[in-house]
Amino acid sequence: MNTLGNRIKSAREDSKLSQLQVGVALEVSDKTISGYESDRITPPINKLLKLADLLKKPIGYFLGGDVKDYKVSSRLRAVEIALRDIRQELREIKLLAQKNNLDE
């Protein structure tokens, strides 16, 4: 059976990373990674997105969706990245505005 845990383990092994290395990158323990791989723990979406980036797999690979689902997932990922960039720009603008108000 091709479960989420099996796909995570397979992608990790393909990337030649240990559970400890993946855990460090995701800021969780290697036991948590073991839990993901054995389907005892379901990774939260933010960890799953980090896993996809780290292991160089599309998020659809982990979700087990078909090509149509992947296209939607791919678009959603692009939107998430754009939103992250916009949030960062807004934070920078806010800091500049605060700095300018302090200087006056």
pLDDT at 100: 83
27-58 tens-digit pLDDT: 999 999 999 999 999 888 889 999 999 999 98
95-104 tens-digit pLDDT: 988 888 765 5
59-86 tens-digit pLDDT: 888 887 654 554 666 677 778 888 888 9
Q: What is the pTM of this model?
A: 0.61
Calculate the dihedral angle through the C-alpha atoms of 37, 41, 42, 48, rounding to the nearest 10 degrees: -60
Topology (CATH level 3) of domain 1-63: 434 Repressor (Amino-terminal Domain) (1.10.260)
Q: Using CA atoms, how far apart are residues 46 and 52, in angstroms rounded to an integer?
A: 10
